[in-house]
Amino acid sequence: MSPDSKLQFLLDCIMERKERIAIIGAGIQGVCTALFLQKKGFNVTLFDRDEPGGNSASYGNAGHFSPYALLQLNRTDILSNVPTMLLSNRGPLALKWSYIPKMIPWFTRFIFNSSKTKMLHTAKFMHQILDLSLDAFDELFQDIDLDGLVANNGIIYVWEKKGLKSRELEINIREKLGVDQQILTPKEIHDLEPNIKPFYHGGVFFKYARHARNPKKILIKLLENFTTKGGKFLKLNIQDLDFDEKKPVLRSDAQRFLFDKLIIACGAFSKRLTDQLHEKIPLDTERGYHVHFKNHENLLSRPVVWSDRGFGITPMEQGLRVVGTVEFGGLNNPLSKSRIKNLILSAKDMLNGIPEEEDHEDEWLGFRPTLPDFLPVIGPSKNYENVYYSFGHHHLGWTLGAISGKIISKMIANEKMNLDLQPYSSLRFS
């Protein structure tokens, strides 16, 4: 046996002695977690009912790496405008009225968490992990060829004068927490993005933010790195969970798998599994939409978000991706054509050069897993010592994928982190 073969044999033996870990969900949360665990020598298997990067949130998101986005949706200054938003055909918020009875318990908690004290608590602990998010991605990106798939041009938010009060609140909180932000005048906005129509009163520039030029390609590259290094991906729908002497048992239609530890990271679909574990976590979903305008990506140099309308436009390989709105309607209601139309009309209102409505493509609906306090769940199950959670990242799932995965990997490896992780525990819902 050659020296290299002996070394590989020893490494394989070490791997075999490591715990076998299953991850349900092969989106950005699951794949990043798998990679960080693999770096620590664990034997990891990813499960998903769909092909990674299929039609999921990790495919259809805005592509923003947003380490500044620490403020929750349920704030008193925003909630006061909710009736107006819901009654407006062009508003950023929509509700499937048939879904209201099912939403009442979640919405009650949502309102309860809208106080200033709760808002500052959420901002503090979102900032704690957001501040580490880009560095965590860089640890994973150094092992793959990004080939221009991540742009470092920053992200701009613009607003009309009527939204100035809310914007000032956001700016002040970010400033107190040390977030790097540059307030923009109308002239500065025009100089950065001359194709934006002059409707805006002001804006803010997050110069260090990044965006993905093709989120699906990045996810696939990360997954390929994982499988090339010995990780396993199985396209299976895990329907049931059980335990054999505290070890999790995963069951699909025809197969049974035994692992040492399990991580549930399947976004908005995680609740079905946590309910099986007798843990009532109040997870619901924000339904988000996108469309593409092919061959028009040169109209913008970076993502631009129109805060008042609740949508943004990101230049990508596929063209301009118009993404946004918040719609509460669960997982089973179909795509709303009116939401798609609103995105198109809002894009035309914002940007010169947008083609006619019929020239768009790729109408997409995805699900942002959201908890009523706008903090994710990252950490062990309340009831089962060998089960861990990583979900509920709402519209920051893409941004927080790597840091969430790093945190979970350190928990499983019994490594300390200089972070207060209690606010992300599922115990807060007990």
pLDDT tens-digit series, residues 365-401: 999 999 999 999 999 999 999 999 999 999 999 999 9
Please answer whether residues 94 and 328 qualify as being in contact, where contact means their C-beta atoms are separated by less than 8 angstroms. Answer: yes
* Six token digits for residue 18: 């490591």
Residues 6+ apart with CB under 8 A from 376: 390, 391, 392, 393, 394, 400, 404, 424
**Beta-bridge partners for 297:** none
Domain encompassing residue 58: 3-429
* Selection from 259, 240, 243 nearest residue 251 by Cα: 240
pLDDT mean across residues, the chain: 92
Q: State the pLDDT confidence band at 332, using cuts at 50, 70 and 90.
A: very high
Residue 8, pLDDT score: 47
* Six token digits for residue 392: 């509920």
Rounded distance between C-alpha atoms, residue 41 and residue 14, angstroms: 8
Percent of the chain whose pLDDT exceeds 90: 81
Residue 10, pLDDT score: 47
pLDDT digits (tens, 9 = 90+) for 81-102: 766 666 566 777 788 888 989 9
* Six token digits for residue 157: 């938010």
Q: Provide the CATH number for the domain around residue 324.
A: 3.50.50.60
Residue 359, pLDDT score: 86
Q: DSSP 3-state assignment of 201? A: coil
* Selection from 149, 55, 80 nearest residue 365 by Cα: 55
Please answer whether residues 303 and 151 qualify as being in contact, where contact means their C-beta atoms are separated by less than 8 angstroms. Answer: no
* Six token digits for residue 261: 């530890």
Higher-pLDDT residue of 92 and 26 is 26
The yes-or-no verdict on residue 140 having pLDDT over 50 is yes
Rounded distance between C-alpha atoms, residue 79 and residue 295, angstroms: 38
Rounded distance between C-alpha atoms, residue 189 and residue 201, angstroms: 10
Please answer whether residues 64 and 73 qualify as being in contact, where contact means their C-beta atoms are separated by less than 8 angstroms. Answer: no
* Six token digits for residue 370: 């959201």
AA letter at 108: T
Q: State the pLDDT confidence band at 5, using cuts at 50, 70 and 90.
A: very low
The yes-or-no verdict on residue 163 having pLDDT over 90 is no
The yes-or-no verdict on residue 22 having pLDDT over 50 is yes
Domain total of the chain: 1
Average pLDDT value for residue range 393-413: 97
AA letter at 345: L
